[in-house]
Structure 1
């Protein structure tokens, strides 16, 4: 997952509209067929994986439309949504599966004391809001190294995060630091290896601080995805997907075996969410999303 500019840019292709149907009887038949198709798809999902999708990947759709379409596919929540849009999620019976809005950005994070005052204020305000809304996960970032070695980064993160962890524990909110690759997408990002994030988890020693294991990012920076998940699952609260290379659909045109990865995740006893975070390349983006859910529905 990334909140960088590529997340915020609008996708160029617009979802094609449904062809107009002129005769009311045909419209009724069409609506009934569509309804039956939706029910059949959702009921066919195995229910072993809790499916989610990242908001920014489908930002050509307004939130209302995304919620409606996600619900049709069998998705239970949407990632990277802040308080402004939580009422829309609730309206459609969806969860904010990874809340955001307290972070400064991706590069200015907890590994630099310069940003602690702002971050502590932001997270102190956001944590109670997340809890009051009935949500659990709140994203955070290490920030860029800017010449800092691992030890300095860990020490600074511990110093900053320990000032808000008691509040998170009180409200039952989990602060979730995302693992991002520093090879291609996020040059100089410090929490770019699972081992780095796990060490931070150990130093903090709280069940209210865990990792967001982004499968796409970690395939790029370290590989060995299934073994890493099995060895470190106790420190992982959430997963993101995307195809490698390219960050597009998770189909046969990329190198990751997502059904095998999902089986490994399920085998750890994971009960959280797996969020699709690929950038659709196909013209019918919602069809790509539906296919991705089917691929991961093991």
Structure 2
């Protein structure tokens, strides 16, 4: 089994979740990544998933700060809801953001708060058979004030939680902006990474339009025997259908023998 490529919601501007699932099927991708599940009619989407035979593989947790200990109960309540939504949709992972840096509270204290909260969440994910992923994001371009930016801190947090059900979502675009050194860091922290996102820089565009060498990155993931999800979380500057087919031909088919590509 090799890595599985997914489409992220928003790839087709103005189109709904059903349209995206149909495109996942048409392009023979592994599934759809969705964000604000609370905006969905879950029962209706579940019927679409069964009809189209493509599932939502990843969703986001509610956007409640992980670094503010006064919001711990709210965060955990949101996680319980999100787990139930994930089970309904067939998702295997839930991505959480960390919230913004708190003024007047030391960084160490905020990291410890995250660890303590994630330790409470870990048994919930173990019971559900799901993975919770923390995601570092860049503050220079897209998320000013966001707490977790660097892969080394994400790794330290996950190590301290010490559960296979709490891992990292490593976004190559964000990490290029925040720290560079992409392949080395992906290798260094690989044992705690559950999921990758890809987009080019600058502009968070589709691979091949910027400075990130995704041929070498994907080859490195093959060498690491990565078998998880790789999400196309990018802005398609050109026609989305044509761009996805170009990505498949210029990247996937050049790196993997056709018979080894997981649809």
Taking structure 2 as the reference length, what is the TM-score of the superposition? 0.87
Identify the match of residue 246 of structure 1 among 198, 203, 226: 203
**CA distance 1:296–1:86, shift in 2 (3 Å):** farther
1:292 to 2:247 alignment? yes
Q: More displaced, 268-277 or 157-166?
A: 157-166
**CA distance 1:70–1:136, shift in 2 (3 Å):** closer
2:95 alignment partner in structure 1: 139
2:122 alignment partner in structure 1: 165
Instruction: Look at both structures and tell me which one has the larger radius of gyration over its CA atoms.
Output: 1
2:58 and 2:86 in contact (8 A); partners too: no
* Structure 2 runs not aligned, ≥5 long: 256-263
Cα drift, residue 189 of structure 1: 1.1
- Mapping of residues 63-102 of structure 1, within 5 Å: 63-80=17-34, 82=37, 84=42, 85-100=45-60, 102=61
2:214 alignment partner in structure 1: 258
1:54 and 1:276 in contact (8 A); partners too: yes
2:202 and 2:211 in contact (8 A); partners too: yes
2:6 alignment partner in structure 1: 52
Deviations 1:87-130 (A, max 9, x none): 32332222322122x312xxx42111132221111112222442
Q: More displaced, 286-295 or 184-193?
A: 286-295
1:151 to 2:108 alignment? yes
Deviations 1:206-265 (A, max 9, x none): 0000011001000110001111111111111111111101111211x3111111101111
1:237 and 1:272 in contact (8 A); partners too: yes
Structure 1 ranges of 4+ moved more than 4 A: none
Cα drift, residue 133 of structure 1: 4.6
1:186 alignment partner in structure 2: 143
* Structure 1 runs not aligned, ≥5 long: 1-46
Cα drift, residue 293 of structure 1: 3.3
Aligned CA RMSD, in angstroms, stands at 1.8
Identify the match of residue 192 of structure 2 among 224, 235, 245: 235
Tell me the SS of whatever aligns to 1:162: helix
User: How many residues are treated as equivalent by the alignment?
Assistant: 246
